[in-house]
Amino acid sequence: MGIALIVLLVLAGFVIVGLILYFVSIYNGLVRLNRDIDKNWSNIDVMLKQRHDEIGKLVKVCEGYMKYERETLEKITSLRTDYMRAGSVEEKGKIDGAITGALKTIFAVAENYPDLKTNNNFMQLQTRISEIENNIADRRELYNDSVNVYNIRIHQIPDMVVAGMMNYKDKTLFEVSEEERRDVNIKFEFPK
């Protein structure tokens, strides 16, 4: 066997091993990305559930003071129930936006109830919910970043080939709903 042939065979060996390693690195990378998206979503879900618990307390505190805002309180209570029933990211995203909007309304309207505004429990809950809202916003950004990286990867060559073999499909972004984008709509319903 000539030297050139042996060198060529070794080169072919490198190409084969290289291709296998490259495939493995793409495969593992995609698996990790996919799992990271699930993990990032779970991290949002944890915060959403914490907010869910705090909303229950908030509604209880507000009920005694905001007698004329029944509609807002009822709305947030029903949204809270809807969230627990929601299944997909899209659905949860929509309800989350609606809850954020309703919370903004509650906090804005609370300005008209001096007793409520100075209530210790209310103040604590307001701070806590604001913290949770900030956390949700950050984690949503992180989640969307991972989804974006994943969606780009599965459409790029050569990842596209491996993603196709794994039957990986586009994931949905956790988008800010129209309701959340809108300014707070405050309805004053003073007693006549």
Partner 1 sequence: MNEIAGRIFGYSIIGFFTGIYLFFKGFSLLWRKRLIQNVPTSKVRSIAMGLVELQGKAIPNILLTAPYTKTLCVFYHIIIERLVRQKNSSRWVKEFEVKTDIPFFIQDDTGCVVLDPRGAETDLPLRYIRREGNKRYKEYNIIEKEPVYVMGTAKRGDSTGDKIHKEVEKRITEMMENPEEKQKLDVNKDMWIDEKEWETARGNIRKQVSEEFGRAGDEFQKKARLVPEYLKDVIIGKGELDKNFILSNKSEKELIENYKYKVFFYIFGGVVLTLACLGIILSNIVFKGR
Using CB under 8 A, list all residues that contact partner 1.
3, 6-7, 10-11, 14, 17-18, 21-22, 25, 28-29, 32-33, 36, 39-40, 43, 134-135, 138-139, 141-142, 145-146, 149, 153
- 43, 145 contact by CB (below 8 A): no
**179: number of CA atoms within 13 Å, CB side?**
13
| CB nearer partner 1, residue 57 or residue 128 | 128
- Angle at which helices 89-109 and 3-63 pack, to 10 degrees? 40
Minimum distance from residue 135 beta carbon to partner 1 (Å): 4
Q: Is 4 helix (H, G, I), strand (E, B) or coil?
A: helix
| CB nearer partner 1, residue 92 or residue 116 | 92
| CB nearer partner 1, residue 63 or residue 145 | 145
Minimum distance from residue 3 beta carbon to partner 1 (Å): 4
Minimum distance from residue 171 beta carbon to partner 1 (Å): 14
| CB nearer partner 1, residue 19 or residue 186 | 19
d(CA 175, CA 12): 48
| CB nearer partner 1, residue 26 or residue 58 | 26
Minimum distance from residue 185 beta carbon to partner 1 (Å): 28
Contacts made by residues 58-62, CB under 8 angstroms, sequence distance 24+: 58/106, 58/122, 58/125, 58/126, 58/129, 61/116, 61/119, 61/121, 61/122, 61/125, 62/106, 62/110, 62/116, 62/122
Minimum distance from residue 10 beta carbon to partner 1 (Å): 6
